[in-house]
Amino acid sequence: MWGNRGVMPGKMQGALEQLLSCAGTVSRKPLKYPEDYDVAASDLRPEIERVYRSLGGVLQSIPLNLRPWDLEFDGIAVELDESLHFNRYRGVILRSASYARLPRFPLDAYQHYCSEREEICLKNGSYGKKWSSPSAEAQFGPASQPKELSGNGSPRWKQRAFYDFVKDLSPLLMGVKVARVAVWDELVDADGTKRIGKILSDLVGQSAPRASARRAALRLRPWSGSEPSTRLGIGKHKFVCPAHCPEFIRSVFPEPLSGHAFREEWRRFATGRSRDGRRSHNWGIL
C-alpha cells in the first residue's frame, strides 16, 4: 500500500513492530490518545475548530473517533504514515500555526510528501471506504466521484488528515510523546539509500521461517565496540541494536518526530558523534 507493492498497512505495522522490538519494549493500547474532553479543555480548541472548518467540516460539534496508536515504543506513541496519509488535505492542516509549538516536527519533509506523493495516494485510496464512508460524509459532506478531487473531493481523506492533526497535538493536549514514521522517509547505509516503506515491505515479504529465525536471534546486550553486536538483517541492511537504545530513543523523541528527523539523530548518535562533531561513544549502526 505504500507504493506499488500492495502491502497492507497492518502488515507494515507488524514489520515496524518487529524492528523496534529489537531495541526496546513495544506494546499496544496503554497510552492515552486525544478525546473530546482533551480538546475542550485546551487552549488549542479554537485552532482545532478552525482547521476542521478549513477542511470543509459541516458539524457544529466536532466528533473525535480516534483509534489507538499504531504502536507504543518505550512509552512513546508511534504512528506509521503510509501512502494514504499524504495528500492536499494533509497539506492544509500542516499550515496550522500550531506546528510552531512543535519544533521537532519535520514540517518541510511532510509538506513535500503531501505535494509530491498525492498521485500514489490517489492510486491507492480512490475506492470504497478509502475514498468515503458514512462517518466521514457526516463530518465533511458527500463525496465527489472517485479520483475526482475538485469539488468536495474525498471525505475520508479529509477525516484522516484531521485526525492526524489532532494526534500531532498530543504532546500539547495531554503530554504524550509522539513519533511519526513515513513510508517515504529514507535510511542511508553503506549500501545506499532505501525508503522505509521498501524496507518494511521487504520484511513482510520474508518467509515465516526466516522471520521466526530472525526474531529468535534477537538477544540484546551492551556493545563495547570490541565484541560482536546484535544485528537485525533486512536484505542487505544490517541494524545494530545496542541494549541502551531505549534511553537514546527517549532522548531524541521529545515531541512529534518523523523517521526523517529520527534518521538524522540516529546517524549522529550511531556514529558516536555529538552535534559539535566530537566522538562521544562506541555504539554504531551498519
Over the range 102-124, which residues count as b (16 or more CB within 10 Å of their CB) and which as e? Answer: bebbbeebbbebbeebbebbbeb
What's the pLDDT tens digit per position in 56-114?
Answer: 999 999 889 999 999 998 888 999 999 999 999 999 999 999 999 998 888 999 999 99
What's the pLDDT tens digit per position in 92-103?
Answer: 999 999 999 998
pTM, two decimal places: 0.74
pLDDT band at 6 (very low <50, low <70, confident <90, very high): low
Residue 47 predicted with pLDDT over 70: yes
What is the torsional sign of CA 145, 4, 190, 214?
positive
What's the pLDDT tens digit per position in 111-150?
Answer: 999 999 999 999 999 999 999 999 999 999 999 999 999 8
List of residues 6+ apart from 136 with CB closer than 8 A: 143, 155, 156, 158, 159
What's the pLDDT tens digit per position in 183-213?
Answer: 999 877 677 788 888 888 888 877 344 444 4
Distance (Å, rounded) from C-alpha 163 to C-alpha 84?
Answer: 13
pLDDT band at 262 (very low <50, low <70, confident <90, very high): low
C-alpha cell read off for 105: 516536527
Distance (Å, rounded) from C-alpha 174 to C-alpha 246?
Answer: 22
Q: Identify which has the larger pLDDT, 251 or 98.
A: 98
Distance (Å, rounded) from C-alpha 281 to C-alpha 271?
Answer: 8
pLDDT band at 15 (very low <50, low <70, confident <90, very high): confident
What's the pLDDT tens digit per position in 149-175?
Answer: 989 999 999 999 999 999 999 999 999
Instruction: Please state the domain extents for the chain.
Output: 1-286
Q: Identify which has the larger pLDDT, 24 or 39.
A: 39
